Amino acid sequence: MSDFKFQSVNKQLEESFRKNWERPALSNYQGITLSYKDVARRIEKLHIAFERCFLHKGDKVAICARNQVNWGVSFLATMTYGAVCVPILHEFKSGNIHYLVNHSGSKVLFVDDVIWEGLNIDEMPELYAVVQINTFKLLYARNERIVESREHMNEYFGKRHPNSFEPENICYYKDSANELALINYTSGTSGFSKGVMIPYRALCSNIQFAKHVLPELNDRSNVVSMLPSAHMYGMMFEFLFEMSIGMHVHFLTRTPSPKIIMQAFEEIKPNIIIAVPLIIEKVYKSKIQKMVEKGGLKTLLKVPVIDKVIQKKIRTELVNAFGNQFIEVIMGGAAFNKDIENFFWKIGFPYTVGYGMTECAPIITYARFDDKRLYSCGKAALNMQIRIDSEDPQRIEGEIQVSGPNVALGYFKNPQATADLFTEDGWLRTGDMGIIDADGYLYIRGRSKCMILGPNGQNIYPEEIEAVFNAEAYIVDSLVIEDNSGLTALIYPDYHQGELDGLDRPALEKAITELLPTINKEIPNYAQVRKIEFMPEDFERTPKRSIKRYLYQRSK
């Protein structure tokens, strides 16, 4: 951390807003666009409302809504005022939202109409106000002063800025390195929600990292925001970093299906693409896999010379599908399917796989596409250090441990979980297992909490088995669990694609079941899957789209 130099995040935003005043800042895809000036005006009005309603520096403000321009406005207004933002995933159940609002001690809640319909204000007694995020209309106010402030907002704004609102009029709260910036709740795949306390130094360090590794991005660049902004990965690299350098963020306000994603990429032509592997795997299956498997291409790809011509054609097709203007596709949040990664590697597609976690806001390791190694997730990111808790880190996997300014302060109101998060010498325990090569490249072997102990003491990492299942065309996702001392694969099939190909549910399930002997041939003997069970609907997922594994565990 010695080389890390902290710069106020809010002051960086202030500088960016002044510099890019007239430039586009936030858009709803195929909807409204706000310039940096527009965003600044909305922020200023919210600041006035916060002041008049006696919101203090350090008070908590919760946001629970889909990605959209006013999500960005609400988040920036909270942070630049000096309050602490509490982003809550809009897909959480009502009981979860009540709990997180109360646990965080939030005073204000910005919320979508649809979500508000399922909530009960009596279950959140500490709230001062609830604000409808699309219009900033009051849905609930504890007292008349709050109502009066909202009704006369434009009047108060006019009194404060009687002539006009100009770049020099903005003056944002100056944060300090170890000050709490936000509380990011994550349900995780192996337990219940914990509130990760993210300090401003972690946000600053992540911004510095992004500027360092992607210097080509600037105030003329575009990004499509398709990950949940309530999760650190999407928030940091599809929104906050972009705001700090004057980029144009296009919020994909709908569910990111391959069709919608491809349409948005074609229209917006993003300069960087941030995604989780599941999204890219869906795009691959919908755009490329069928093309490869039909018309004899699969056979031709094995023929020397011809294979290079075909690979170039497929690469061009894929690059065009992603808008043809991007530097690289950066994936993180989960393991990338090895078969698909191997295919991307062979055709020279500009992708890379990074590694991070909410507790590092989020980046830990990364390597640019032209510096990456197959199946690795890169080297320690700028300002960060990693180590493997193993007697031989290059050959024997051990827990990945992390140090640097990205590391969180701990868990909100949970001193025991905070103590468990760190080693005796202060390094963060990731709970992930891996090895590191002589050049510092990290290779993840799996989550230590997910690891299954085999019959003879072997370490079985279910993610590696799931990758084999997920490579099959009709499997959307899978989960391997220990079941009566054996292994069972829970499969969520692509029923829709099956119907399009003339397979009803029983026929599709039969076809997948018949794949089991072939799949087991690719798996060590001690990790054989005994049976397959089918899920009628998709798995429940965390904000970063990982399966909530703990919901599906069975007695051994």
- Supply the pLDDT for residue 190: 37
- Supply the pLDDT for residue 302: 66
In the predicted model, is pLDDT for residue 544 greater than 70?
no
**Alpha-helical segments (H) within 348-474:** 415-421, 462-470
Q: For 54-66, b where at least 16 C-beta lie within 10 A, e where not — what string?
A: ebeeebbbbbbbb
Residue (of 170, 176, 171, 183) closest to 9 by Cα position: 176
The end-to-end CA distance of the chain, in Å, is 44
Q: Which of 255-269, 441-455, 458-472 has the lowest mean pLDDT?
A: 441-455
Domain over 273-325+328-447 is classified CATH 3.40.50.12780: yes
- Parts of the chain belonging to CATH 3.40.50.12780: 9-249, 273-325+328-447
Q: pLDDT tens digits for 88-138?
A: 988 777 888 999 999 999 999 999 999 999 999 999 999 999 999 999 999
Q: pLDDT tens digits for 158-210?
A: 999 999 999 999 999 999 999 999 999 875 333 457 899 999 999 999 999 99
Mean pLDDT of 7-24: 98
Q: How far apart are CA 51 and CA 81, in angstroms?
A: 9
Ramachandran sector of residue 81 (left: φ over 0; alpha: ψ -120 to 50; beta: rest): alpha
Q: To the nearest whole number, what is the mean pLDDT of the chain?
A: 91
* CA distances, 202 to each of 315, 362, 383 (Å): 36, 8, 10
- Looking at residue 336, its amino acid is F
Q: Name the architecture of domain 9-249.
A: 3-Layer(aba) Sandwich (3.40)
- Parts of the chain belonging to CATH 3.30.300.30: 452-552
| Structure confidence at residue 446 as a pLDDT band (50, 70, 90) | confident
Tokens 């646990």 belong to residue: 103
Q: How far apart are CA 414 and CA 416, in angstroms?
A: 6
- Supply the pLDDT for residue 71: 98
Mean pLDDT of 316-344: 90
- Supply the pLDDT for residue 294: 65
In the predicted model, is pLDDT for residue 305 greater than 70?
no
**Alpha-helical segments (H) within 214-305:** 232-235, 241-245, 258-268, 277-284, 290-293, 297-300
Q: pLDDT above 90 covers what percent of the chain?
A: 73
Q: pLDDT tens digits for 505-530?
A: 999 999 999 999 999 988 877 789 99
- Supply the pLDDT for residue 306: 64
Q: How far apart are CA 31 and CA 28, in angstroms?
A: 5
| Structure confidence at residue 299 as a pLDDT band (50, 70, 90) | low
Q: Which residues pair with 248 in a beta bridge?
A: 222
Q: How would DSSP label each residue in 312-362?
A: HHHHHHHHHHTTS--S-EEE-SSPPPHHHHHHHHHHT--EEE-EE-GGGSS
Q: How far apart are CA 167 and CA 203, in angstroms?
A: 24
> What are the tokens at 13?
């935003």
In the predicted model, is pLDDT for residue 556 greater than 70?
no
- Supply the pLDDT for residue 352: 97
What is the rounded (10 degree) CA torsion for 221, 226, 228, 229?
A: 20
* CA distances, 157 to each of 25, 53, 145, 360, 537 (Å): 22, 15, 16, 38, 49
In the predicted model, is pLDDT for residue 409 greater than 90?
yes
Answer yes or no: are the C-beta atoms of 353 and 341 closer than 8 Å. yes
Q: pLDDT tens digits for 427-443?
A: 999 999 999 999 999 99
- Supply the pLDDT for residue 303: 61
In the predicted model, is pLDDT for residue 32 greater than 80?
yes
* CA distances, 544 to each of 109, 332, 550 (Å): 22, 9, 16
Fold of 452-552: GMP Synthetase; Chain A, domain 3 (3.30.300)
What is the rounded (10 degree) CA torsion for 98, 101, 105, 108?
A: -120
Residue (of 477, 451, 447) closest to 547 by Cα position: 477
Mean pLDDT of 280-303: 70
Q: How far apart are CA 350 and CA 328, in angstroms?
A: 5
Identify which has the larger pLDDT, 541 or 406: 406
Answer yes or no: are the C-beta atoms of 104 and 132 closer than 8 Å. no
The greatest distance separating any two alpha carbons of the chain, rounded to the nearest whole angstrom, comes to 78
Q: How far apart are CA 81 and CA 44, in angstroms?
A: 9
Residue (of 279, 198, 270) closest to 236 by Cα position: 198
Handedness of CA 440, 443, 444, 448 (dihedral sign): negative
Chain length of the chain: 556
